[in-house]
């Protein structure tokens, strides 16, 4: 397998190392001279600047790991030069702009690994960065099934848990679970600094709640400027919702309505438990075999349907029949309950299902 990594930061570097660990041949490309030395130290072959053609030529998988803001333009360039049987993906934290830029090209599958927020730069790259991490993929009905499978298997081999999701749903969810938390952290830290410096030099000891809430404040502007802007419509909607909710609790407080405040707080406790429970997924891998017609989009359709029901595909394999008119998709699902649900969904989609 030949892998090309375009953009050699923490994520790109870790993709390169994880792919090499799995036996792939890896080439990388970056615009910045500064990555050359740390890349060399890690044994990653990197081309600095110049045309992308030579790097992308002959690649089986291309990872775009540049800042979110330049990804759509970069994708158009890469799709122009990448070979026909090459799957192209990205690692950007917003998915609608790049999916739109792909314009239905069957070689593109959007991606987003949830990993590596704490450091930056190829110097921090490590082959096990994605072990246990969720890696979102956003295939569409245009995505080629065989190319999708290759990418899915490669990412699973990094130790990541692939989660399939629509681009719109991904961006709305990320606005809530990542971008809005960063906004709130920024607001809280600057508000506190402003009010307390107005009181002279005293900055009081802060409890664990403040430290928790502000840990991500002022994240790298080079990365986060792009992220905020690329998902700004979803983020604006989320901020409006936050403001409305703050105004409701403000009103309960101002009128000293204890019952309303307690109910609101209890509700948050229940919601937190529910969200945490939703993330507990474990158990034995169950193998499910599904016969499918070999038409474009069928793999994505299936993965999306399971994704919508909250079933994560731990791993998958695709076996086309020799006549290429049909095939078998083998899915591995963690946990008996999730596997049962997957089976029901696949049966309801009218695919023949076989469970060992």
Question: Interaction with a second copy in 238-277: which residues (CB under 8 A)?
Answer: 238-243, 245-247, 249-250, 253-254, 256, 258, 261-262, 264-275
**What is the Cα–Cα distance from 1 to 7, expressed in whole angstroms?**
19
Give 188's contacts (C-beta < 8 A, 6+ positions apart): 210, 213, 214, 217
Q: Can you tell me which residue has the tokens 């595909």? A: 313
Subset of residues 90 to 119 that bind a second copy, contact rule: CB under 8 A: 114, 117-118
CB of 200 to a second copy, least distance (A): 6
For 134, which DSSP code? E
Stretch near a second copy under the rule CB under 8 A, chosen from 51-59, 120-128, 308-316, 345-353? 308-316
CB of 94 to a second copy, least distance (A): 13
- Which residue's CB is nearer to a second copy, number 72 or number 327? 72
Q: Are 258 and 291 in contact (CB under 8 A)?
A: no
Q: Can you tell me which residue has the tokens 């299902």? A: 353
- Which residue's CB is nearer to a second copy, number 193 or number 321? 193
How many CA atoms, within 13 angstroms, populate the side-chain half-sphere of residue 257?
A: 13
Q: Are 89 and 152 in contact (CB under 8 A)?
A: no
Q: Are 137 and 117 in contact (CB under 8 A)?
A: no
Subset of residues 195 to 224 that bind a second copy, contact rule: CB under 8 A: 195-197, 199-210, 212-219, 221, 224
CB of 135 to a second copy, least distance (A): 9
Burial class (CB in 10 A: 0-12, 13-18, 19+), 184: middle
CB of 205 to a second copy, least distance (A): 4
Element (H, E) at 87: strand 87-90
Stretch near a second copy under the rule CB under 8 A, chosen from 30-38, 44-52, 81-89, 164-172? 164-172
Among 41, 100, 103, 236, binds a second copy (CB under 8 A): 236
Is 67 a residue that touches a second copy (CB under 8 A)?
no
The 3-state DSSP class for residue 355 equals strand
- Which residue's CB is nearer to a second copy, number 211 or number 324? 211
Q: Can you tell me which residue has the tokens 């703050």? A: 246
Among 87, 158, 182, 315, binds a second copy (CB under 8 A): 182
What is the total count of residues that contact a second copy (CB under 8 A)? Answer: 96
Subset of residues 121 to 140 that bind a second copy, contact rule: CB under 8 A: 134, 136
């Amino acid at each position: 397998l030949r892998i090309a990594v375009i953009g050699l930061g923490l994520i790109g570097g870790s993709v390169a190392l994880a792919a090499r660990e799995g036996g792939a041949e890896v080439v990388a490309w970056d615009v910045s001279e500064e990555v050359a030395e740390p890349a060399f130290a890690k044994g990653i072959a990197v081309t600095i600047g110049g045309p992308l053609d030579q790097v992308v030529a002959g690649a089986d998988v291309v990872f775009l790991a540049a800042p979110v803001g330049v990804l759509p333009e970069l994708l158009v360039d890469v799709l122009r030069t990448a070979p026909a049987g090459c799957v192209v993906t990205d690692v950007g934290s917003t998915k609608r702009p790049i999916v739109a830029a792909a314009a239905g090209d069957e070689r593109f599958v959007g991606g987003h690994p949830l990993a590596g927020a704490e450091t930056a730069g190829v110097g921090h790259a490590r082959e096990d960065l994605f072990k246990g991490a969720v890696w979102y993929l956003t295939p569409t009905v245009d995505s080629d099934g065989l190319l999708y499978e290759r990418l899915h298997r490669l990412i699973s081999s990094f130790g990541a848990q692939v989660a399939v999701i629509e681009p719109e749903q991904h961006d709305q969810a990320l606005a809530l679970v990542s971008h809005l938390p960063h906004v709130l952290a920024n607001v809280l830290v600057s508000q506190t600094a402003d009010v307390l410096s107005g009181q002279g030099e005293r900055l009081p000891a802060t409890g664990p709640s403040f430290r928790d809430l502000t840990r991500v404040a002022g994240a790298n502007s080079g990365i986060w400027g792009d992220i905020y802007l690329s998902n700004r419509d979803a983020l604006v909607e989320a901020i409006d919702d936050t403001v409305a909710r703050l105004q409701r609790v403000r009103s309960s407080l101002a009128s000293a309505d204890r019952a309303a405040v307690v109910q609101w707080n209890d509700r948050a406790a229940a919601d937190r438990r529910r969200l945490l429970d939703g993330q507990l997924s474990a158990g034995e891998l169950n193998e499910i075999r599904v016969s499918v017609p070999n038409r474009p989009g069928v793999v994505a359709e299936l993965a999306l349907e399971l994704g919508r029901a909250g079933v994560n595909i731990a791993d998958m394999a695709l076996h086309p029949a020799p006549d290429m008119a049909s095939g078998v998709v083998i899915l591995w699902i963690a946990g008996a309950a999730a596997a049962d649900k997957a089976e029901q969904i696949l049966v309801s989609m009218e695919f023949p299902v076989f469970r060992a």
